[in-house]
Amino acid sequence: MKVAIIPEKCIACGLCQTYSGVFDYNDDGIVIFTDSKEKVKTVADDPDILMAVKNCPTKALTLP
């Protein structure tokens, strides 16, 4: 599945990283992918990643 990050919507709450190690944070606490600087990434179909996307309070993570 593809996941997109919209950094300007991120409030650095940390919820997504509690669901999956696919997500990390930059020096300002804004979400990034752990192993990529891309804003859209194809990741394995993983229920934890899907939960991170669905539970992001600001919709900074989306399924494009």
Instruction: List, for residues 42-63, the tens digit of each pLDDT value.
Output: 999 999 999 999 999 999 999 9
Q: What is the pTM of this model?
A: 0.91
Q: What is the pLDDT of residues 5-22, one digit of tens each?
A: 999 999 999 999 999 999
The domain locations on the chain are 2-62
The amino acid sitting at 48 is: D
Confidence of residue 40 (pLDDT cuts 50, 70, 90): very high
The amino acid sitting at 25 is: Y
Q: Looking at domain 2-62, which of 1.10.287.90, 3.40.50.300, 3.30.750.200, 3.30.70.20 is its CATH number?
A: 3.30.70.20
Which residue intervals of the chain are DSSP H helices? 15-19, 47-55
